[in-house]
Amino acid sequence: MTVYLRKVAGSDAKEFLTLMTTSQSLHKPWISPPLDPRTFAAYLTRVSQPDHEGLLVCETKSEKIVGVVNINNIVRSSFLSASLGYYIGQSYLGKGYMLEAMVQVRDYAFTTQGLHRLEANIQPDNMRSINLVKRSGFVYEGLSKNYLYLSGKWRDHERWATYDARTSLSP
């Protein structure tokens, strides 16, 4: 195992913000991660809610933060679903860390969180992300027009999902 997941904490601010600041060119226009103490504090507040979870992807050998996977909009009851947001630091791109993290997140969401479905919504031109979810076992479900407001514009997104085959039809 080259990476592990752990919950984000306030003490991660400096390392996290440095990684995100130096990775801005990789992330634009796909996402807008926290880049300063104020937006990091807002991020911590959001992921501390029961319907969100922020998981840092950390390199096992060095324990450095290499990326993040957020489990967003967790819905319980008959839906048992959530959406994912994820991004890696520029210097860790192409090392297989996010693929390994996605497998771990799926296991965590389906076993520990008891979810049945995870969805990733990806802008159609973001081929790195599409290739990642394909390799992670997600299936294409369709296109959502004007789905999310990012970087000052409503953007189309492809819907990709994966399911826990172990769950029955009833929650």
What domains can be seen in the chain, in order of their start residue? 3-163 (3.40.630.30)
**Res. 168: pLDDT tops 60:** no
User: pLDDT by residue (tens digit) across 89-119?
Assistant: 999 999 999 999 999 999 999 999 999 999 9
User: pLDDT by residue (tens digit) across 127-164?
Assistant: 999 999 999 999 999 999 999 888 788 999 999 999 99
CA distances from 5 to 10, 17, 73 (A): 16, 18, 19
What contacts 24+ positions apart, CB below 8 Å, involve 99-104? 99/132, 99/135, 99/136, 100/1, 100/2, 100/3, 101/3, 101/5, 101/55, 101/57, 101/67, 101/69, 102/69, 102/132, 102/133, 102/136, 103/136, 104/3, 104/4, 104/5
81-88, strands of its sheet edge to edge: 3-7, 53-59, 65-75, 81-88, 117-122, 153-163, 139-150
State how far the Cα of 21 lies from the Cα of 16, in Å rounded to an integer: 9
State how far the Cα of 98 lies from the Cα of 57, in Å rounded to an integer: 8
Output the average pLDDT for the chain: 94
Query: Exposed e or buried b for every residue in 48-79, given b needs 16+ CB within 10 A?
Result: eeeebbbbbbbbeeeeebbbbbbbbebeeeee
Q: What is the pTM of this model?
A: 0.93
**Res. 166: pLDDT tops 90:** no
State how far the Cα of 116 lies from the Cα of 166, in Å rounded to an integer: 9
